[in-house]
Amino acid sequence: MAHQAPNATILNSFPDTDALVESLAFFIAKAQKDSIDKKGRFTVALSGGSLPKMLRGLIGNPSIKWDKWQVFYADERVVPLEDPDSNHLACTNLLFSKVPIPKDNIHVLDTSLLDDLEELSDAYEKELIREFAQKDAARFPVFDLILLGMGPDGHTASLFPGHELLAEEDRWIAYLEDSPKPPPKRITFTYPVINHAARVVFVAAGKEKVEMLKQVLDNPEAGLPASRVKPVHPGQLYWFVDDAASAAVQYPRSPFKL
Ligand SMILES: O=C(O)[C@H](O)[C@@H](O)[C@H](O)[C@H](O)COP(=O)(O)O
């Protein structure tokens, strides 16, 4: 079968963070409905950083069927779940503690394996295999939605500029011990997993993102980690940003309809 070109990236930019949060919640609710209508479940991956608080539009939202969500972490810091650095803790404090999601639907690190990164990442890969095997995975899992942030150096998940993991083609979950952003030990989805998702959404807000967003969208040939997110057909890549972050971007914005 011939490879089809990736769909063009959709850039949605909003006047302020509240408008971004509201539209993002609307978008996620729609993606959730499409997925549940088709398969009775919704598979999502979340990141850390500022992303969890941008999901606040989901709190108290009656269209969200939390019992149908299966949540994974696109990257996670190798720390106990109650450690302030844990992405799971941030997502719990800012979202999961405020909504009726069953605890078993949130797939966390096996914290008995924190001392062995190889075992830890293998165990998380097996957790994905259990969820996706014989459902919608072929060689790689097909998430309904992966939500990512972009760091000031253009990293995403725990895929950092110049790191050897940018070339990983086989593993679903990889680990690193030399993350330039602390803490140094992390596990991360690899590009094949990110790029097989049905929808990948980057969320970035604030004027401190302006130069990097321009680099990533207007100069993708530079190969920054965020620019390497290119979902394979029919997957679609979206950016949800605010006008402060997109002020310098030439790439065309798409009108977003609520
Ligand atoms: O665990 C992590 O560190 C994150 O998953 C990371 O990839 C984050 O999403 C970016 O660094 C953006 O962070 P901000 O949204 O805070 O800028």
d(CA 66, CA 36): 11
3-class SS of residue 191:
helix
Question: How much of the chain is helix, strand and coil, in % rounded to 5?
Answer: 40, 20, 45
pLDDT, average across residues 40-56? 97
**pTM of structure:** 0.97
Counting from 1 in the atom list of ligand 1, the atom nearest the Cα of 179 is 3
Which of 21, 77, 85, 181 most suits a substitution to test ligand 1, by most atoms within 8 Å of the C-beta?
A: 181
Judge whether residue 9 has pLDDT over 90. Answer: yes
Query: Which option is the CATH number for 12-206+222-238: 3.40.50.1360, 1.50.10.10, 3.30.70.2970, 3.40.50.300?
Result: 3.40.50.1360
Ligand 1: which residue has its CA nearest to atom 10? 151
d(CA 37, CA 176): 37
d(CA 173, CA 118): 10
Neighbours of 92 (CB within 10 A): 19
pLDDT score of 2: 54
Q: pLDDT-derived band of residue 1, with 50, 70 and 90 as boundaries?
A: very low
Q: Say how far residue 182 (Cα) sits from the centre of its chain.
A: 19
Which residues contact ligand 1 via a Cβ below 6 A?
Answer: 47-51, 75, 77, 87, 149-151, 155-157, 181
